[in-house]
Amino acid sequence: MLRRMTRDRYLSDAELAAFMAAVRERRHVHQPRDHALFALLANTGIRPSEALALTRADCHLGGKQPWIRLRRIGKRHTPQPTNELVINRAVADVVRRYANDLPADGRIFNFTRRQSERLFHYYRSKAGIVQLHKIYCLRHSAGMRLVRFVKDLRIVQAIMGHSGLRATMVYAHVSPERLQTAYEAAGTAG
pLDDT profile of the chain (190 residues), mean per 10: 65 94 94 96 93 92 90 58 83 94 86 94 96 92 90 87 84 71 72
Question: Coil, strand or helix: which one is 31?
Answer: helix
DSSP string spanning 75-144? TTSPBPPPEEEE--HHHHHHHHHHHTTS-SSSBSS-S-HHHHHHHHHHHHHHTT--S---TTHHHHHHHH
Q: Would you call 68 exposed, middle or buried from its count of C-beta atoms within 10 A (0-12, 13-18, 19+)?
A: buried
Return the pLDDT at 1.
44
Q: How far is CA 54 from the centre of its chain?
A: 14
83-86/67-70 β-pairing? antiparallel
In the CATH hierarchy, which fold is given to the domain comprising 8-136?
hpI Integrase; Chain A (1.10.443)
Return the pLDDT at 67.
94
Q: Where are the domains of the chain?
A: 8-136
| Torsion sign, CA atoms 40, 41, 42, 45 | positive
Q: 59 - beta bridge partners?
A: 68
pTM score > 0.75 for this model?
yes
Return the pLDDT at 128.
96
Distance CA(103)–CA(142), nearest Å, equals: 30
Question: Coil, strand or helix: which one is 159?
Answer: helix
Return the pLDDT at 14.
93
Return the pLDDT at 175.
64
Q: What is the CA radius of gyration of the chain?
A: 17
CB–CB of 48/116 below 8 Å?
yes
